[in-house]
Structure 1
Amino acid sequence: MTANTAPAIRPENPNFSSGPCAKRPGWTLEALADAPLGRSHRAKVGKAKLKEAIDLTREVLEVPADYRIGIVPASDTGAVEMALWSLLGARPVDMLAWESFGEGWVTDVVKQLKLADARVLKAAYGDLPDLTQIDFTHDVVFTWNGTTSGVMVPDANWIPADREGLTICDATSAAFAQPVDFSKLDVVTFSWQKVLGGEGAHGILILSPRAVERLETYKPAWPLPKIFRLTKNGKINEGIFKGETINTPSMLCVEDYLDALKWAKEIGGLKALQERSNRNFEAIAQWVARTDWVDFLANDPVTRSNSSVCLKVVDPEVTALPEDAQAAFAKAIPAGLEKGGVAYDIGAYRDAPPGLRIWCGATVERSDVEALTLWLDWAFNEAKAALKA
C-alpha cells in the first residue's frame, strides 16, 4: 500500500470560511488604532467615520451617484429584511430560491409577511431556476450569488431595463467579487464580513431612485419595527444614508471596514478585487479538472461562483455508500484539515448537500488556495484509507 505523504507546504493563512471571511493580507490589530472607541457614533468623529465608510463604499464598489447607501443593523440579513418588510406588498412578487438563504427569504415573505400573491421559483442545489419564467411586472427577490450552493447568476441580462416591479438583490457574497449591474437592481444588500473580510454585525443597504419612490408612495399594511423604518413623515430618512445609523454601530467594526476599503483602493479597486477572486477560483478549477474524486456542485460552468466555491465528492466508491455514510465521509475531509490547523471552516453549509465549501474571495491568496488543494487530496486519501480499514 502506498503511503499517504503529507504535503510539504501549508497555507500561510488557514482561514477559508465563507463568512466571516479571511482578513485582508497583512492585517493586524494595529490597523484599528484610529477607531474612536468610547465615543458616541453621533459625535462629530463618529459621524465622520460612518460617512467616510459610505463614501468609500460608493467609490470602491462603483455605486451610481443617485443610489443611496446606508449602514444598517444585523448584517446582510438585517439589510434584506428591511427591504422585504418596507417595500413588498405593493404588487405581486416573484421569489427566486436555489439555496439556503434564498429559501429563507421565501419563508419570510410567504410565512411571515403572508403575501398571498407571492410566486416561488425554485431550483435544486447546483442549478438556477428558469429565469425566463420571471414576471417583471412583479417585484423580484433573489440572491446574486448562492453562498451555500456556489451557484450565481452569470449576469443581469435577464433583467429588463423597463421592468415595472422592483428587483431586490441579496448580493452579500457577490459584492466586490463579481460584476454587479446596478442599473438592473433597485435594492442591493451585502455585509462587509464577506469579500472584504470585515468584522460582522453590520449590513449595507443600497437603494435606487425607484426603490426610494416606492418607500415614499407606499405604506405596508403591517407595523414596522424601529430598526426597519426607512422613512420619516412619508419621506426617505436621509440621515441613514449620511451616517446617522438607526441603532448604535460598533466603531471598531466600522474602522475595520474602512481599513478593508482603503486596502481595496490601494491594490486597484473593484477590478483588482474581482481579479483576485477570479485567480483564486481558477486555482480551484484547475485542481478539479485534474482530480477525479471531486467536482463542482454547480452544474453549469457559467454559474459557478468565484467566491463561495462549493464542491461534491464524486468518487464511485464513496457515492455507492448509503447517504449517511457519504455525509460522514465528506465531513471527514475538513475535519482532518482543521485538526491539523491546515484549513478551517471548509465543510458544506449545514442545509447544503454534503461536500466542501472553500472561500476564494479577494482577501485570500492564490498561493494558499494552491497549497490547500494538495492537502485536500491528502485528506481525501486519509478518509479513503479509513473507509477501507
Structure 2
Amino acid sequence: MKRALNFNAGPAALPESALAKAEKEMMNYQGSGMAVMELSHRSKEFEEINERTKNLLRNLLTIPDEYEILFLQGGASLQFSMVPMNLLEEGSIASYVLTGTWSEKALKEAQKVGNAVIAASSKNANYRFIPSSSEIDIPAESSYLHITTNNTIYGTQWHSIPENLPVSLVADMSSDILSRPLNLSAYGLIYAGAQKNLGPSGVTVVIIHKDLLNRSRPGLPSMLDYRVHADSQSLYNTPPTLSIYFLMLVLQWAEELGGVKQLEQLNKQKAALLYDAVDSSGGFYTGHAEEKSRSLMNVTFTLNNEDLTSAFLHEAEESGFIGLAGHRSVGGCRASIYNAVPLENVEKLSDFMNVFRSKN
C-alpha cells in the first residue's frame, strides 16, 4: 500500500512499525482474545501496558523519581486550566511568555482562574522569535513561569530555557517532547498532547514534581486535581486505553531507534534539509522565523505571492505530500517534521522544493 508523505501539524505521522504492530495485535492482544480497546482498564493486561508506558517514558527522558507521570485526557487545552487551578496559589501571580497562539490561549484560560500576566512577548514581531531570558520580567509574587517550548504555527522553538528561576517553570511541550534530551530538573511541570510526537490524539502526558502536588486548591473537582490522578496511577476513571497503548508502541520504537539523542540527530538532519532549501533559494522561499529561533519540528516559509503558493501546494499534493498549507496566522507553507516523519520523506520534500523553484 502506498503511504502518504505526511507533513500534517497534528494529528501527525506515526512510526510505521508501531502501526504494523498494532495491526497485528488488533484482534487479539497478548493472547487475551480481545483488542486493547476491549480490555478492562482494571485488567492485568492493561495495568501492564500502563506501567510499561510510564517506565519507557521515564527511561527515555531520564525522569527522576521525584516526578510523577500522569496520563490524562482533554488535550493540552485542558492543561491551560488545570495548571493554574493546581499551581496558582492564593494571592500569587502566574507569569506567561507569549510566543504564539497556544501560549496566548494558555494565558487566557489562566486569567479565568486568577491573576495571570505577560512576562515577555514577541507578538509585536508576529512571533518571529523567542524572547531572551533577559527580556523576561517575572513579578516577585509569581507562583510559576509558563512557556510553550515549540510553536507549531510560527515555526519557532526555545533552544535554551530560562534557568535558575525564582519560581517553578511550567512548559507546554506538546510539539517537541521526545525530540531532544531534557534537563528535567529545570522544570516543575511539563505537559504534552500526544498527537504530534508521542502517539495518536486522546492522551495527554503530564510530568510533575511531587512537591507541586501539594499546591492544589482545596475543593477542586476530582478530575481536575493532579493529586487524585497521581494517587490512582492515572486510573481514577476510565483512561484512553487505546491511546496509551499506542503511546507505548511509539516509545518502544524510540527506544529501539536509539533513544532521544538519536531522535535529536535525525531531527536536526531533517530540519537542515528544508532550511537549506529555503536559504539557498535566493528569496524564492522566505522563512518566517528568525534563524536563531527556528524550530526543528515545524518549518514555516512563504513564497512571493498567493498564486505561487497555490501552485506549490497543488503540485505538492499531486506528488503525494500532505499537510503543507501554512496556518492562516502566517500563510504560506508549513512542513511539520516530527519524530516519526522519515528522513527519506523530508529528502523528497527538499528535492520537490528545489525542482519547483527551478521551474518557476
- TM bucket, shorter chain: 0.7 to 0.9
Partner of 2:77: 77
Partner of 2:280: 290
Among residues 300, 303, 309, which one is paired with 1:330 in the alignment?
309
Letter in 1 for 2:278: V
**C-alpha spacing 1:23/1:214, structure 2 compared with 1 (3 Å):** same
**3-state secondary structure, aligned to 2:37:** coil
**C-alpha spacing 1:348/1:329, structure 2 compared with 1 (3 Å):** same
Letter in 2 for 1:296: G
Structure 1 residue 367 corresponds to structure 2 residue 344:
yes
Among residues 27, 30, 44, which one is paired with 2:23 in the alignment?
30
Partner of 2:55: 55
Q: Please state how far the C-alpha of 1:31 moved relative to its aligned partner.
A: 4.9
Provide the aligned length of Structure 1 versus Structure 2: 342
TM-score (norm 2): 0.86
Partner of 1:349: 327
* Distance in 2 between residues matched to 1:97 and 1:117, nearest whole Å: 12
Q: What is the CA deviation profile of residues 99-153 of structure 1, one whole-angstrom value per residue up to 9, with x for unaligned ones? A: 111111121122x22x345235321321123432332742211101112111111
Among residues 213, 225, 229, which one is paired with 1:229 in the alignment?
225
Q: What is the CA deviation profile of residues 259-315 of structure 1, one whole-angstrom value per residue up to 9, with x for unaligned ones? A: 11111111111111111211111111221222121132111x2321111222222x3
Q: Please say if residues 143 and 169 of structure 1, whose CA atoms lie closer than 8 Å, have aligned partners that are also in contact.
A: yes
Alignment map for 1:86-165 (pairs within 5 Å): 86-90=86-90, 91-110=92-111, 112-113=112-113, 115-116=114-115, 118-123=117-122, 124-132=126-134, 133-135=136-138, 137=140, 138=142, 139-156=144-161, 158-160=162-164, 163-165=165-167
Q: Please state how far the C-alpha of 1:243 moved relative to its aligned partner.
A: 4.0
Q: Please say if residues 141 and 167 of structure 1, whose CA atoms lie closer than 8 Å, have aligned partners that are also in contact.
A: yes
Q: Please say if residues 80 and 105 of structure 2, whose CA atoms lie closer than 8 Å, have aligned partners that are also in contact.
A: no
Partner of 1:311: 301
Q: Please say if residues 73 and 79 of structure 1, whose CA atoms lie closer than 8 Å, have aligned partners that are also in contact.
A: no
Q: What is the CA deviation profile of residues 314-337 of structure 1, one whole-angstrom value per residue up to 9, with x for unaligned ones? A: x3xx3xxxxxxx4x6535532442
Partner of 1:239: 231
Partner of 1:208: 209
Q: Please say if residues 69 and 206 of structure 2, whose CA atoms lie closer than 8 Å, have aligned partners that are also in contact.
A: yes
Q: What is the CA deviation profile of residues 154-213 of structure 1, one whole-angstrom value per residue up to 9, with x for unaligned ones? A: 112x221xx3322110011121113332111101011222123x1111100010134224
Q: Please state how far the C-alpha of 1:249 moved relative to its aligned partner.
A: 2.5
Alignment map for 1:157-306 (pairs within 5 Å): 158-160=162-164, 163-196=165-198, 198-215=199-216, 219=217, 224-231=220-227, 237-240=229-232, 242-244=233-235, 246-292=236-282, 293-299=284-290, 301-306=291-296
* Distance in 2 between residues matched to 1:207 and 1:258, nearest whole Å: 20
Partner of 2:32: none
Q: Which 4+ stretches in 1 moved above 6 angstroms?
A: none
* Distance in 1 between residues matched to 2:340 and 2:116, nearest whole Å: 41
**C-alpha spacing 1:31/1:95, structure 2 compared with 1 (3 Å):** farther
Q: Please say if residues 143 and 170 of structure 1, whose CA atoms lie closer than 8 Å, have aligned partners that are also in contact.
A: yes
* Distance in 1 between residues matched to 2:98 and 2:314, nearest whole Å: 29
* Distance in 2 between residues matched to 1:249 and 1:355, nearest whole Å: 38
Q: Please say if residues 125 and 353 of structure 1, whose CA atoms lie closer than 8 Å, have aligned partners that are also in contact.
A: no
Q: Please say if residues 98 and 127 of structure 1, whose CA atoms lie closer than 8 Å, have aligned partners that are also in contact.
A: yes
Letter in 2 for 1:347: A
**C-alpha spacing 1:117/1:359, structure 2 compared with 1 (3 Å):** closer
**C-alpha spacing 1:136/1:118, structure 2 compared with 1 (3 Å):** closer
Letter in 1 for 2:336: W
Partner of 1:14: 5
* Distance in 1 between residues matched to 2:167 and 2:215, nearest whole Å: 10
Q: Please state how far the C-alpha of 1:380 moved relative to its aligned partner.
A: 6.1
* Distance in 1 between residues matched to 2:16 and 2:43, nearest whole Å: 32
Structure 1 residue runs of 5 or longer lacking an equivalent are: 1-10, 319-325, 385-389
Q: Please state how far the C-alpha of 1:32 moved relative to its aligned partner.
A: 4.3
Please give the root-mean-square deviation of Cα atoms over the aligned residues, in Å. 2.5
Structure 2 residue runs of 5 or longer lacking an equivalent are: 30-34
Q: Please say if residues 41 and 249 of structure 1, whose CA atoms lie closer than 8 Å, have aligned partners that are also in contact.
A: yes
TM-score (norm 1): 0.80
Q: Please state how far the C-alpha of 1:22 moved relative to its aligned partner.
A: 0.8
